[in-house]
Amino acid sequence: MMPCSNCSSKAAIVAEKAYCKNHFTAYFENKVLATIKKFSLIGSSDKIIVGSSGGKDSTALLYILSKYYKNVEALAIDEGIPGYRPITLEDLERFCSNNSIPLRIYSYKNEFGFSLSEVLKVRKDLSPCHICGILRRYLLNTKAKGFTRIATGHNMDDEAQSIMMNLSKAQLPLLSRLGPVTGNVTDTGFIPRIKPLYSCSEKEVATYAVIKNFGIRFMQCPYSHSSFRACIRDALNDYEAKHKGSKLNLINNFLKLLPRLKSKQLNLKLNHCSSCGEPCSKDVCKACTIVDSITAKPAAR
Ligand code: SF4
């Protein structure tokens, strides 16, 4: 049995060193707080809303932010994924109630008139993650008005995957929007998105969530296996197993390139959607385009 590097207790995880549960908790929380400080993610007057799903990442983030900061609330999106989202939302509601954290939930059904599962039954040509990503980001931004920061539970593994996904698809504009603070525009319609778990690996977040016993079930979205992200995740995990430190090196090198990527994208013209008024790069935003294509009546024959 490997002992903790700081005391004689049994080690629960080997991260930078071997840690028992208590010392790992302190190490993890300090790492998150150091990330917030290093990238200036939160100021003293900020009002923070945490994009929450009831999963391990956003729940760990919600717990830490509400422990160390004032003005923290949770916002969840119910896409309508049977067998998955109702369970994670039930866990989230219980967690927020137990920890006195205000929670707001918005559903695709109420906001757009359809659930994700209803769309996928009739539109076999659409990818669930494509629709989900665009509409979730849209609702997060529109429903977080009045807050000054949207905090998301993206961890180091998520970020490494996003970098590789956007590089593989030659999506430089999307690549420039990554980093610990998301978005490369100064439009007041965009609420800055921050990633306080940026420096924490998925394994560290999962260990923290287990140690803290948040009372959440570790569910996986039924659509996650077929996604491009899952493919990149498996490749990166394989790479990391053979070459330890690869993900961290990828992130650190990306952070060196990021200022140059952002400076190129800052010159791009920003519009406002002619349909909903939200900031976007074209005449109509991606969310309105998707919703219109889903709700449009078929042409008469
Ligand atoms: Fe949405 Fe895809 Fe994530 Fe499921 S795996 S919650 S469909 S983005």
Domains of the chain: which residue ranges?
Answer: 22-269
Shortest-distance atom of ligand 1 to CA 53: 6
- For ligand 1, the distance from its centroid to the CA atom of residue 91, given in whole angstroms, is 18
Which of the listed residues 131, 140, 221 should we mutate to test ligand 1's pocket, taking the one with most ligand atoms within 8 A of CB?
221
- Element (H or E) spanning 29, and its range? helix 21-38
- For ligand 1, the distance from its centroid to the CA atom of residue 172, given in whole angstroms, is 23
Whose CA is closest to 64, among 35, 40, 44? 35
Note down pLDDT in tens along the chain; length 301 residues.
789 999 999 998 888 899 999 999 999 999 999 999 999 999 999 999 999 999 999 999 999 999 999 999 999 999 999 999 999 999 999 999 999 999 999 999 999 999 999 989 888 888 899 899 999 999 999 999 999 999 999 999 999 999 999 998 878 888 888 999 986 456 667 899 999 999 999 999 999 999 999 999 989 999 888 778 889 999 999 999 999 999 999 999 999 999 988 887 755 667 889 999 988 888 999 999 999 888 875 555 4
* Bridging pattern class, strands 181-182 and 193-194: antiparallel
pLDDT value of residue 266: 59
- For ligand 1, the distance from its centroid to the CA atom of residue 79, given in whole angstroms, is 9
pTM listed for this prediction: 0.92
User: What is the CB < 6 Å shell around ligand 1?
Assistant: 128-129, 132-133, 221, 223-224, 227
- For ligand 1, the distance from its centroid to the CA atom of residue 88, given in whole angstroms, is 13
CATH label, 22-269, candidates 3.40.50.2300, 3.30.750.24, 3.40.50.300, 3.40.50.620 = 3.40.50.620
Which of the listed residues 129, 130, 138 should we mutate to test ligand 1's pocket, taking the one with most ligand atoms within 8 A of CB?
129
pLDDT value of residue 188: 67
Query: By alpha-carbon position, which residue is closest to atom 2 of ligand 1?
Result: 129
Query: By alpha-carbon position, which residue is closest to atom 5 of ligand 1?
Result: 224
- For ligand 1, the distance from its centroid to the CA atom of residue 61, given in whole angstroms, is 19
How is residue 183 written in tokens? 């978005």
